[in-house]
């Protein structure tokens, strides 16, 4: 009975991940029978089957294509260990913002997601953890009330269950259509993480491309350990706004993962192919050993 539930859940995540792989943002091109993905960075044409094998990293230049939340989870979790949290949670159009309801519906339809973040419990290399994975395809991964609430609930779940928390960020920042309530999610998520931290919880934050605005200025920057995928755009203000403000062109590589590492805001840059083993090591290094203390 329990097994069949697990199998069904497993089939669901596999199905959703496969769909995301098929419909990922990688620009497609059909040549003969094969489908090729074009790398926006170096222009290389790579068969989609190979991209799936390289975890959507360009084999020529190492460009990391953005990936959907379920696809990301399927790259990380042990099979049959996935359990989604608060799957149906959403928020009303509190400001009655014109056109917002339609925009949400369209995003739901095109992505198959309810909101811009998927939260789950699952095992990574045999160790249980709580995950929140943002999806930039859903209204730029912007944070409104629902995203803030799902992240906060994931933090609280990890706190209660005494589990490590791993968050993959990808967001344009606060969701404009929910106005001041979006802004308040920055305080809500940060307050929950402060509490989790005081209670001894481990939080690993992973920046992926792009992470800017209110998400950078709240939960994304509060990790005990902070990782980033190579080449990700990470910042508070977007590059366009900065250029307009200071009236000059920004240097090459500004606000990229490597720049943040150099300036002391990222522990390590981890390529996607090594993410799982890196997280596994971090979980092992922080494992609480029942009552045993260093003498």
Partner 1 sequence: MAEYTPGQKVAIARHAGRPGTADYISALFTGFFAQKGDRQCREDPAILGGVALYKGRPVTVLGHRKGKDLQENMTYNFGMPGPEGYRKAQRLMRQAEKFRRPVITFVDTPGAYPGLEAEARGQGEAIASTLAMMSGLDVPVVTIVIGEGGSGGALALAVANRVLMLEHAVYSVLSPEGFASILWKDSGKADQAAEVMKLTAQDLVALGAADEVIPEPPGGAHENPQAVFVAVDRALSRALDRVVREGDFAQKRYEKFRGMGSLYTGRDKS
217 near partner 1 (CB under 8 A): yes
Q: How many residues contact partner 1, by CB under 8 A?
A: 65
Nearer to partner 1, 81 or 218 (CB): 218
Q: Which is nearer to partner 1, 55 or 222 (CB)?
A: 222
Give yes or no for a contact between 89 and 114, defined as CB atoms under 8 angstroms apart: yes
Q: Which among 69, 73, 22 has a CA at the least distance from the CA of 49? A: 22
Give the residue with the Cβ less far from partner 1, 13 or 266.
266
Q: Judged by CB under 8 A, which stretch of 39-47, 53-61, 83-91, 271-279 contacts partner 1?
A: 83-91
Residue window 167-206: x/- pattern of binding to partner 1, with contact defined by CB under 8 A: -------x-xxxxxxxxxxxxx-xxxxxx-xx--------
- CB contact at 8 A, 276 and 75: yes
First to last CA, the chain: 46
> Could you tell me the smallest distance in angstroms from the CB atom of residue 182 to partner 1?
5
Span interacting with partner 1, options 57-65, 73-81, 130-138, 242-250, rule CB under 8 A: 242-250
Taking CB under 8 A as the criterion, which residues in 128-157 touch partner 1?
144-146, 148-149, 152
Cα–Cα distance, 169 to 210 (Å, whole number): 8
State yes or no: cis peptide before 210, omega within 30 of 0.
yes
What is the token pair recorded at 25? 């943002």
Element (H, E) at 85: strand 83-85
The residues, any chain, with a CB within 8 Å of residue 90's CB and separated by 6 or more, are 104, 114, 115, 146
Tokens encoding 158: 């990890």
Among 213, 228, 231, 275, binds partner 1 (CB under 8 A): 213
The reply on whether position 247 binds partner 1 by CB under 8 A is no
Residue number with CB closer to partner 1 (26 or 143): 143
> Interface with partner 1 includes 158 (CB under 8 A)?
no
DSSP string, 182-223: HHHHHHHHHHHHHHHHHTT--EEEEEEEEE-HHHHTTGGG--
Could you say whether residue 5 binds partner 1 (CB under 8 A)?
no
Query: According to CB under 8 A, which one of 22, 254, 273, 277 is a site residue for partner 1?
Result: 254
Q: How far apart are CA 194 and CA 215, in angstroms?
A: 15
Among the listed residues 15, 42, 61, 241, the single contact to partner 1 using CB under 8 A:
241
Under the binding rule (CB under 8 A), the answer on residue 66 touching partner 1 is no
C-beta of residue 236 within 8 angstroms of C-beta of residue 213: yes
Contact (Cβ atoms closer than 8 angstroms) between residue 257 and residue 269: yes
Check binding of 210 to partner 1 (CB under 8 A): no
For residue 168, the SS3 value is strand
Rg over CA atoms, the chain: 19
Three-state secondary structure call for residue 260 = helix
Binding map of partner 1 across residues 257-276, x = CB under 8 A, - = no contact: --x---xxx-----------
Pick out residues in 108-127 that bind partner 1 (CB under 8 A): 114
Chain residues that interact with partner 1, rule: CB under 8 A = 86-92, 94-95, 97-98, 114, 144-146, 148-149, 152, 174, 176-188, 190-195, 197-198, 213-214, 216-222, 234-238, 241-242, 245-246, 250, 254-255, 259, 263-265
């Amino acid at each position: 009975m329990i097994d069949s539930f697990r199998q069904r859940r497993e089939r669901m995540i596999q199905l959703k991940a496969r769909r995301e792989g098929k419909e990922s943002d990688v620009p497609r091109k059909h040549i003969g029978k094969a489908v090729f993905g074009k790398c926006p960075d170096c222009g290389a044409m790579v068969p989609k089957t190979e991209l799936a094998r390289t975890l959507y990293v360009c084999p020529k230049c190492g460009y990391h294509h953005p990936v959907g939340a379920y696809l990301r989870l399927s790259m990380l979790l042990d099979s049959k260990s996935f359990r989604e949290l608060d799957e149906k949670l959403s928020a009303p159009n509190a400001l009655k913002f014109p056109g917002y309801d339609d925009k949400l519906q369209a995003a739901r339809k095109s992505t198959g997601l309810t909101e811009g973040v998927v939260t789950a419990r699952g095992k990574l290399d045999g160790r249980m953890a709580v995950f929140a994975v943002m999806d930039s395809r859903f209204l730029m991964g912007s944070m409104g009330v629902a995203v803030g609430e799902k992240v906060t609930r994931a933090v609280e779940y990890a706190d209660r269950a005494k589990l490590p928390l791993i968050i993959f960020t990808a967001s344009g920042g606060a969701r404009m259509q929910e106005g001041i309530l979006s802004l308040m999610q920055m305080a809500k998520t940060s307050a929950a993480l402060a509490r989790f931290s005081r209670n001894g919880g481990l939080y690993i934050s992973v920046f992926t491309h792009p992470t800017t605005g209110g998400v950078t200025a709240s939960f994304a920057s509060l990790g005990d350990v902070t990782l980033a995928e190579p080449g990700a755009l990470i910042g508070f203000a977007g590059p366009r706004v900065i250029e307009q403000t200071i009236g000059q062109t920004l240097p090459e590589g500004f606000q990229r993962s490597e720049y943040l590492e150099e300036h002391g805001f990222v522990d390590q840059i981890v390529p996607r192919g090594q993410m799982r083993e890196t997280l596994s090591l971090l979980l092992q290094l922080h494992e609480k050993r029942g009552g045993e203390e260093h003498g």
